[in-house]
Chain A
Amino acid sequence: MVCALGLIIADHRFDHLDRVRSLLSLLAYPLHLAVNVPSALIRSAQERLTDAAQLRTMNAALNRENLLLKARLQQFESLEAENMRLRDLLGSSFNIGERVLIAEILAVDLTPSRQQVMVNKGTSSGVFVGQPVLDANAVMGQVIRTNPFSSIVLLITDSDHSLPVEVNRNGLRSIAAGSGIGQGLELLYIPKNADIREGDLLVTSGMGERFPPGYPVARVTTVRQDPDNPFTTVLAEPTARLDRSREVLLVWTLDPQMQQQALTDAESSEGASQ
């Protein structure tokens, strides 16, 4: 019992146990893989059973979406170049280069009271603790534990997680804390007179230097003035599909020197194209 209590305290307060834990979780990895097998089988069976008509409609839909995205990307490239020029004029630095890696979520149920998922990429792919994790729509969370082949991601809705955000419409900064229960976020320390409305998009502000700036996080669902609360109560719903995504993106932000390199590259290619 004393051992167990000692372990709990040691794990909660200090991080000496991290190495032991990652070693042990390496041993548990086959277990996790084995658990993943049935759902993987079901998924592959589903893929096999889809008929040709279904595949054709899906293909058509994907083609349409691809066309739309490409059209939008054309604009985006010129806008990015323009943005970079303007920022250069202002003398402010800006992240442009980010490397991403696609990882798959393992179908493993972890502790029900925590909002965590396990993904199938670990330190052998260069994943590190604190790395931001996105899905196709928005920010999902960050890596909290790694071993060579898998890592555990803490979702933004966990009650232990909070991330700096800003309102996309006017740049109002705040902190989005997970509520732990359900799928909500709460914005902390929003003054009573702040300009925030339902439907506002929240994006990462990059203040904590963990998450790259400018990624969507959540949409405001409730703005309420509670008499007993000195601040405005603001609730938001994550735009990432936290409970439905199968694949996630792990992001590496390039360090400043490489950013500069990428910036000059972009400018020279811009010059060449003109």
Chain B
Amino acid sequence: MTDALPRGGWLILASLLVALLLEILPMPVGVDAFRPPWVPLVTLYWCLNVPERFGVFSAFATGLALDVASGSLFGQHALGLSLIAYGAVELHQRIRLFPLWQQALFVWVLLLVERLLNLWVLAATGQPMPFLIYWVPTLLGLLLWPWLFVILSDLGRRVGLV
């Protein structure tokens, strides 16, 4: 047991790193608004599947990393991510039994919550409000979730993480 605990930690780190890269990768102007929320998706995956390894504090740290990388207000993403991580960790036992599409819907709700918290921070600090297109990436997250789930589960199984 003590032997199994630290295994595969690098996979979590690597997946988060890739998500961070995807989040700040330059994209053409038209496509830019449709960037899927990579970091929240990956965070949610680890929260749902290895909640004993990846919890609220890890999500908070991830959020800080995202804040630093994207130059947003310090703590802006950390707030949203740690909150949805809390929701995911609390409910993970129930969610894991759901079929994949139902899981995706639940993840979608959490992604919406994360966006809403971001919007609150933007409004509270007097930054310009985004348009309605702001909510579209969460739908992409909904569509991406099954794929992400399958890929990360496979990788996790290979390194003995899940």
Contact = CB atoms under 8 A, between A and B. Distances in A.
Interface of A: 1, 3-8, 10-12, 17, 21, 24-25, 27-28, 31-32, 34-35, 38-39, 107-114, 116, 118, 145, 152, 159-160, 180-181, 243
Nearest to B23: A109
Contacts, number: 96
B15 to A, nearest CB: 15
A108 B21 contact: no
A32 B24 contact: yes
Given A28-B68, A32-B24, A108-B24, A4 B127 contact: no
B130 A113 contact: yes
B78 A108 contact: no
26 contacts: A3-B75, A4-B79, A5-B75, A6-B75, A7-B64, A8-B75, A8-B125, A10-B74, A11-B73, A25-B68, A28-B65, A31-B17, A31-B24, A32-B24, A35-B21, A39-B26, A108-B24, A108-B26, A109-B24, A109-B27, A109-B32, A110-B24, A110-B72, A113-B128, A114-B71, A116-B71
Interface string B127-138: 111100000000
Interface in B4-48: 17, 20-21, 24-27, 29, 32-33, 35
Contacts of A180: 128
Nearest to B29: A243
A17 B75 CA distance: 11
B75 A7 contact: yes
A1 B82 contact: yes
